[in-house]
Amino acid sequence: MAFVQPVTLADRGLHLVPLELAHEDGLRAAAADGKLWKLRITSVPEPEQTRAYIESALQMRAEGHRFAFAVTETATGRVLGSTSFHDILPAVKRVEIGYTWYAKSVQRSHVNTTCKLLMMGHAFDTLGCHVVGWRTDNYNFASQKAIERLGAKKDGVIRGHALRRDGTIRDTVMYSMRAGEWPEARAQLLYLRGLHA
pLDDT at 161 over 80: yes
pTM reported for the whole predicted model: 0.92
pLDDT band at 108 (very low <50, low <70, confident <90, very high): confident
* Residues 6 or more apart whose Cβ sits within 8 Å of residue 58: 19, 20, 21, 68
41 pLDDT tier (thresholds 50, 70, 90): low
Q: Return the closest-CA partner of residue 61 out of 84, 37, 92.
A: 84
φ, ψ (nearest 5 deg) of residue 73: -85, 125
Work out the average pLDDT over 84-100.
97
